[in-house]
Structures are given as structure tokens and as C-alpha cells.
Amino acid sequence: MPRKQVARCQDGGVVIPGYEDDPLAVSEELLGRPGFWPAHLLWLAEGEDVDPEPGWFGVDGADTEETYGTLTDPAAWPVLRLPLQGGHTILIVYRNFPEDCGIDYYLAHPSWDRPRSLGSIEGHFAGPGLAWRELVHIAQHPGVGPGVATPHARLLLLLPVLGDAALPPDAVEVVESALDAIGAPPETRTALAEALLDHPFWEAPPWYFHEPDTSPLSGGNATPRPSRVLRCMGSWSPRMGDLGLPLDQDICLAAALGTAS
């Protein structure tokens, strides 16, 4: 199984303990390649009745193949950074073991004892890792630090770990707008946006705020503070339970995810 729990940020770079001998490469410049977006997202749009192609993104197939080769190169594993508010960072790691290729999503902060997984895209998948309200907030509120800051790019980069039973009526329109920003043709945007929101790995689950049991019989604290970090009801989600953060870190993360209030 891949070593998913060991990514963190340090001094503006990327450190993954246990991967010191692996060829990690900070690679945000790859987003400027014409074939990047279908190389990153084409699989997500595939379905029983949908067979997308690079042209849906307004991109040539040869460019897509070239960029996909770079993203999956065992000699250099691309890492993308998305700075969040409060010093948090999302790391997207293209884990290119020859026999274990996948994309891992991590949420990290310098004060944490370890990073938290948001999901893995592979045969032994894990997810979802973000609710819709979190995805939109993260996209629109970049933090200070190196990495991807453009809202439409942040939203599209994180779509693979989205899963939410309560998508708002304008969800397709929001994704269409992001696709417009990367040059997707008008005639394919709606179908592509709808397909990208229909994840092939997991059903869209509900998200909720956990309310501690404070009854006398529970033995719990009489005045606990409910966490404002959402939990996921999806059985494959890394966010099914408590993230185990101290109170101050929990408050800071909720603000970064847009759920503090």
C-alpha cells in the first residue's frame, strides 16, 4: 500500500519522510502546458454513457499525451501546492511508482504532528476528501505562500477529491465557468462539467458537523466545543472521523476550509 500519511511542507518546499530517495519535483509550471487539464481530469469525466476526449477541453490529443507522460514519469514525481489561509497547504502528489501509480492529496500545516489525507486516486482509492462548500471556499481564498493561487485552477485541481450529496443548483455553472477560463469550447462545457461532478469512484455522500454526546450517561465533558470541521459519511473517505487536532488547530482549519461559522 502507498505511504499516504507522511507529506508535509517545510520552508516553502516539499518534504515527505520515507520518500527521501524518491524524485519529488515541485511542478506548478506544468499547469501552463496546453495538455495539462485533460491529462489531469479526463479520467474523472469518463462514465458509462460519457466518453470524453481532449478536444472537450479545447486541447490536442498529442499535447495531452505528452503532458500525461510527464505527470506519470517514474523519474520525476510532480508535486503541486495550493496555499490555504492560516498557513495550511494542500499537496497534490503524483505518486509514480512503476507498479503503484496514483495521485495523493494531503492537507498539511507546519504545527501539525502529521499531515491529513484528503484522498487517493488509484485502484485502492480513498475519498472523498472535500465537501462542495469547502472546495469553493478553498478555490476563492488562497493563502500566502508558494503554489497555485488562481481560483479556477484551484477548483479544477481539487475536483477529483470532491464528493457531496448536497451540491447546490449552480454547481454545474461554477465548474463551467472554471472550464471557460482554461479555454474549453462552449459546445462541450456543460456536458464536461456534469461529467466531472459525477465521480466514477464513489457515490456522493452527505457531510455533517459532529455533535458530542453530553448526556450524563455518556461520561462526556459537560461543555465540549463541537468541531466546525466537517465529517464525511462516505465509507471510503479519510474524513469519516475526528482529525484529532487540538482545539486551536481545529479552529484554524475550520477557518481555512470556510466552515468556521
pLDDT, position 1 = 32
pLDDT, position 223 = 43
Cα 206 to Cα 164: distance, rounded to the nearest angstrom: 6
Neighbour order of strands in the sheet with 24-26: 24-26, 77-83, 89-97, 100-108, 116-121
Taking the CA atoms of 169, 197, 165 and 87 in sequence, report the sign of the dihedral they define. Answer: negative
Backbone angles phi, psi at 112, to 5 degrees: -80, 150
Q: How many CA atoms lie within 13 A of 134 on its CB side?
A: 29
Compute how many other C-beta atoms are within 10 angstroms of the C-beta atom of residue 83. Answer: 22
From 64, 60, 87, select the one nearest 249 (Cα to Cα): 87
pLDDT, position 100 = 80
Single pTM value for the model: 0.91
Residue type present at position 109: H
Q: Which secondary structure element, helix H or strand E, spans residue 102, and what is its range? A: strand 100-108
pLDDT, position 48 = 83
pLDDT tens string, the chain, 261 residues long: the values are 333 333 444 444 466 655 677 788 999 999 999 999 999 999 999 988 889 999 999 999 999 999 999 999 999 999 999 999 999 999 999 999 888 889 999 999 999 888 899 999 987 899 999 999 999 999 999 999 999 999 999 999 999 999 999 999 999 999 999 999 999 999 999 999 999 999 999 999 999 998 776 555 545 554 456 899 999 999 999 999 989 899 999 999 999 999 998
Residue with cell 500525461: 68
Cα 40 to Cα 19: distance, rounded to the nearest angstrom: 23
Domain segments of the chain as ranges = 8-201
pLDDT, position 213 = 60
DSSP for residue 35: T
**What is the torsion angle, in degrees rounded to the nearest 10, for the CA atoms of residue 112, residue 93, residue 39 and residue 177?**
10
Q: Is the peptide bond before 128 cis (omega within 30 degrees of 0)?
A: yes
